[in-house]
């Protein structure tokens, strides 16, 4: 069997890749995240995969993150496709939100071969720098459409006390 079944329009592929990378290098150098597959990640062995770029021991993926803020809150949005809620760990460490977890690989029930393997699986850890101090105990998180959204109330800002200095 050859990979004749699924060919990609090459011209459009190149355009999209070039355009995509240009944007990513401008905005998302920190989004490139390493995935380390473990024993229980269930990834196929090299012999079951025809993709020449596939290496069972490593994977990289772009986990795009956005941080929004207003006076009282910070909202962090992180792209985490294909996770289960219970496999996501969220921690606040000093001035960073650290999201880690395990993205599991779903095995197919039928006999076949993996022609293309580009998605990353395994354990990962991504730190998103927070621009302000937060009350970690009051954070709320939701996972929807493969996007994690964490809302963190800002710590009480130390209000600068106004001191009037008389001119003598």
Partner 1 sequence: MSESNVASKAEAAHSEAALLPPVDVFEDASGITLYADLPGVPRDKLILQVESDTLTIEGEVNLDTPAGMEASHAEVSLPRYRRVFTLSKELDSEKVSAELKNGVLRLRIPKAEHAQPRRIEVRVE
Binding site for partner 1 (CB under 8 A): 1, 3-9, 12-13, 15-17, 19-20, 23-24, 26-28, 30-31, 61, 64-70, 73, 75, 77, 79-84, 108, 110-120, 128-129, 131, 143, 145-147
Residue number, 94 or 111, with CB nearest to partner 1: 111
Provide, rounded to whole angstroms, the least separation between the CB of residue 66 and partner 1: 5
Provide, rounded to whole angstroms, the least separation between the CB of residue 105 and partner 1: 9
- Enter the tokens of residue 139: 């954070």
Residue number, 129 or 157, with CB nearest to partner 1: 129
Rounded distance between C-alpha atoms, residue 114 and residue 48, angstroms: 6
Rounded distance between C-alpha atoms, residue 1 and residue 165, angstroms: 85
Question: Residue 102: which of 38, 146, 12, 29 has the closest Cα?
Answer: 38
User: 36: Cβ–Cβ under 8 A, 6 or more apart, which residues?
Assistant: 57, 58, 59, 122, 123, 124
Three-state DSSP at 160 gives coil
Q: What radius of gyration do the chain's Cα atoms show?
A: 22
Residue number, 67 or 136, with CB nearest to partner 1: 67
Residue number, 22 or 135, with CB nearest to partner 1: 22
């Amino acid at each position: 069997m050859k990979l004749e079944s699924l060919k990609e329009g090459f011209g459009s592929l190149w355009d999209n890749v070039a355009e995509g990378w240009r944007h990513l290098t401008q905005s998302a150098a920190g989004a490139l995240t390493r995935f380390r597959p473990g024993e229980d990640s269930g990834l196929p062995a090299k012999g079951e995969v025809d993709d020449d770029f596939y290496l069972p021991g490593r994977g990289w993926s772009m986990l795009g993150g956005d941080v929004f803020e207003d006076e009282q809150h910070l909202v962090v949005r992180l792209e985490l496709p294909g996770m289960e809620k219970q496999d996501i760990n969220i921690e606040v460490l000093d001035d960073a939100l650290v999201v880690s977890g395990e993205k599991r690989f779903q095995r197919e029930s039928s006999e076949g071969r993996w022609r293309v393997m580009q998605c990353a699986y395994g354990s990962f850890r991504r730190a998103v720098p927070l621009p302000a101090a937060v009350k970690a105990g009051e954070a709320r998180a939701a996972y929807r459409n493969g996007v994690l959204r964490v809302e963190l109330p800002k710590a009480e800002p130390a209000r600068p006390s106004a001191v009037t200095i008389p001119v003598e």
